C-alpha cells in the first residue's frame, strides 16, 4: 500500500485527520484519568468510539482501502472530522453531566441509604437475587447439556445453534443477557458502598454465563457487551467512594489486570477457534480477515454516509424516516443497519446478508446525518448526547442511593439508549413496549422515592432531627 505523503497536498489532510482523532482520544483519556470510575462506567462507549475512530482514520489516511463487505475501494478523505466532532459532542455532554459539583452529591455525607434504616431480617434482597439467578444459570447449563449439541465441540456457528437447537432459556439469555449482567454487577459492587468486600457470588454467576457463551459459539461482540454492562456498577461505586478512598487510574488498572487478562485470553481463544476450526480458515486468510474486521469494517458504513451526505449532498430525510420507522426490512430488529446497507449496497446483496441474521457494523452517528443532513445532523447528535448523558447520570445516582426497584425498571431503558449510541438503533424508542417500560420506570421511581422519604423522615423523627427533602 503506497501512501504519498511526500506532497503537501496529501500531507495536510492526513495531519488534519490525525490531529482530530488525537484530540478526541486525549479527551477520553482526560475523562478516565481525572475520574477513574468513569473508565468502567463508559467503557462500552469509549471502546466503541476509539475503535471506529481508528478504523475511519486508517481508511482516510491509508486509503484507498479495499472493503470485502462493500466490494469496493474506500478512502482516502476527511471522514474522521465529522465523526470526531460527533464523538466530541458526546464527551462534552458527559463531562457536563458528571461535573465535579454533581459528583459531590454521591458522597456518604450527601446520600442517605435506606439499607442503613431497615431492620435486619432473616433474608435480604441480594440473597434472593442470588438464588433466583443461580437457578436460571443452572437451568441454562442443563438445557445445553440435555439438548446434546454443544457448538464448541460440534463446530456450529452461534446463529445456527440458536436457530436449530437453542431452547427457551437460551433465547431469553440472548434477549436479556446484557441487562442481567448489569443487575449482577449491581449486587456485586454495592457492598463496597458500606466498606464491605465485593459480593463474589455474583461474580461467579457472571463467569458461569461467560463460559456458557463460549461453549455456544459466541465471540468478541457478546463478551464485550456483557462485560461492559457488568462493570458499570463497579465504576459507579468508585465514583461514590472517591471522596473517602480515592483511586488513581494506575491503581485501578493494577486491581483489574488479572480478570481483564483472562477476559482477553477467552476472546482470543474464541476467535481463533471460530475462524480456524469452525470456518476452516488457514493462517493467511485469517490474517486478511482480521485486518478487515479490525481496521476496515468498523468504519466502512460511516464512510458511505460521509461520501453520500458530506461530499455529494445526497440525503433524503423523508426516505430515511420511511425506512427506519414505517416500512423497515425487519421491524423486530435494529432498522438503522438494514437501511444503511440497502442504501450503500445492491439491494439483493443487502437483503441476502440480512436474511442470514448478519449485519454490518456501525449506525451511529450515521443515522443522525441520514435524518438531518450535514448541518442538522450535528444538532441531532448534540440532542441525543445530552439526553443520554443525563439519563446515565440518573441511573448512576439511583445505584448510589440503592434504589433497587428503580434500577430494575431503568435497565430495559438504559439498554436501548446504550445500543443507540453505538449502532444507531432508533426504532426501539417509538415502540409501544418502550413506552410501557418508560411509564413503569417513572411509576417505580415515584413510588420508591415516597417509600424512601417515609423511612428517612421516620428515622429523623425518632432522633428528633429536622430533615430537608432532596431536590436534586
pLDDT along the chain (472 residues), means of 10: 55 89 93 86 93 94 88 90 96 92 78 67 79 95 85 72 81 91 93 86 94 84 90 90 70 77 77 62 68 89 93 91 91 90 88 83 93 94 95 92 90 92 91 93 92 76 56 48
Q: What nine digits make up the cell of 472?
A: 436534586
Torsion angle (degrees, nearest 10) of CA 55, 93, 104, 439:
-110
Sole residue written with cell 457487551: 225
Q: Which pLDDT score is estimated for 360?
A: 87
For residue 223, count other CB atoms closer than 10 A to its CB: 18
For residue 472, the 8-state DSSP code is: -
466's torsion region: left (phi>0), alpha (psi -120 to 50) or beta?
beta
Segment holding 44, helix H or strand E: helix 43-62
Determine the pLDDT at residue 116: 64
Instruction: Give the residue from 300, 378, 336, 421 showing the smallest Cα distance to 43.
Output: 421
Concatenating the DSSP letter of every residue in 46-113 gives HHHHHHHHHHHHHHHHH-SEEETTTTEEE--SSTHHHHHHHHHHHHHHHHHHT-HHHHGGGSTTT---
Give alpha helix (H) positions in 401-467.
404-423, 432-463
SS3 72: strand
Q: What is the structure's pLDDT at 104?
A: 82
- What is the per-residue pLDDT for 471? 46
Cβ(420)–Cβ(384) below 8 Å: yes
The pLDDT, as a whole number, for residue 387 is 95
The pTM of this model reads: 0.87
d(CA 230, CA 227) in angstroms, rounded, equals 5
Is residue 427 within 8 A of residue 331, CB to CB? The reply is yes
Amino acid at each position: 500500500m503506497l501512501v504519498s505523503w511526500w506532497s503537501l497536498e496529501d500531507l495536510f489532510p492526513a495531519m488534519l485527520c490525525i490531529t482530530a482523532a488525537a484530540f478526541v482520544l486525549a479527551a477520553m483519556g482526560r475523562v478516565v484519568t481525572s475520574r477513574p470510575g468513569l473508565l468502567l462506567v463508559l467503557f462500552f462507549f469509549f471502546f466503541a468510539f476509539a475503535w471506529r475512530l481508528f478504523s475511519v482514520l486508517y481508511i482516510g489516511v491509508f486509503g484507498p482501502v479495499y472493503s470485502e463487505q462493500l466490494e469496493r475501494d474506500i478512502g482516502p478523505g476527511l471522514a474522521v472530522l465529522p465523526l470526531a466532532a460527533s464523538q466530541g459532542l458526546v464527551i462534552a455532554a458527559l463531562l457536563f453531566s458528571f461535573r465535579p459539583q454533581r459528583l459531590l452529591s454521591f458522597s456518604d455525607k450527601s446520600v442517605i441509604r435506606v439499607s442503613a434504616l431497615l431492620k435486619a431480617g432473616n433474608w435480604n434482597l441480594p440473597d434472593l437475587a442470588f438464588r433466583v439467578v443461580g437457578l436460571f444459570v443452572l437451568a441454562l447449563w442443563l438445557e445445553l447439556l440435555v439438548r446434546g449439541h454443544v457448538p464448541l465441540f460440534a463446530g456450529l456457528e452461534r446463529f445456527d445453534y440458536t436457530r436449530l437447537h437453542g431452547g427457551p432459556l437460551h433465547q431469553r439469555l440472548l434477549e436479556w443477557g446484557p441487562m442481567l449482567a448489569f443487575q449482577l454487577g449491581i449486587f456485586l459492587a454495592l457492598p463496597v458502598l458500606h466498606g464491605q468486600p465485593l459480593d463474589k457470588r455474583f461474580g461467579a454467576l457472571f463467569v458461569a454465563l461467560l463460559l456458557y457463551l463460549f461453549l455456544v459459539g459466541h465471540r468478541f461482540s457478546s463478551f464485550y457487551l456483557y462485560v461492559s454492562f457488568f462493570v458499570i456498577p463497579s465504576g459507579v461505586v468508585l465514583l461514590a467512594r472517591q471522596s473517602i478512598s480515592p483511586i488513581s487510574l494506575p491503581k485501578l488498572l493494577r486491581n483489574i489486570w488479572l480478570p481483564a487478562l483472562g477476559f482477553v485470553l477467552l476472546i482470543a481463544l474464541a476467535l481463533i477457534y471460530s475462524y480456524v476450526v469452525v470456518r476452516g480458515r488457514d493462517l493467511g486468510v485469517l490474517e486478511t480477515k482480521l485486518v478487515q474486521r479490525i481496521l476496515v469494517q468498523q468504519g466502512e458504513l460511516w464512510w458511505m454516509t460521509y461520501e453520500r451526505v458530506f461530499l455529494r449532498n445526497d440525503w433524503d430525510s423523508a426516505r430515511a424516516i420511511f425506512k427506519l420507522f414505517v416500512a423497515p426490512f425487519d421491524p423486530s430488529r435494529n432498522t438503522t443497519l438494514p437501511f444503511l446497507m440497502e442504501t450503500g449496497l445492491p439491494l439483493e446483496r443487502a437483503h441476502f446478508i440480512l436474511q442470514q441474521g448478519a449485519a454490518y457494523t456501525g449506525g451511529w452517528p450515521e443515522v443522525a446525518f441520514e435524518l438531518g443532513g450535514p448541518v442538522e445532523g450535528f444538532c441531532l447528535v448534540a440532542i441525543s448526547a445530552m439526553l443520554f448523558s443525563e439519563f446515565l447520570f440518573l441511573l448512576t445516582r439511583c445505584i448510589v442511593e440503592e434504589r433497587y426497584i428503580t434500577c430494575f425498571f431503568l435497565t430495559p431503558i438504559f439498554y436501548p439508549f446504550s445500543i443507540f449510541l453505538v449502532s444507531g438503533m432508533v426504532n426501539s424508542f417509538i415502540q409501544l413496549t418502550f413506552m410501557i417500560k418508560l411509564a413503569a420506570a417513572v411509576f417505580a421511581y415515584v413510588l420508591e422515592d415516597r417509600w424512601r422519604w417515609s423511612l428517612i423522615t421516620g428515622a429523623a423523627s425518632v432522633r428528633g432531627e429536622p430533615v430537608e427533602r432532596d431536590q436534586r
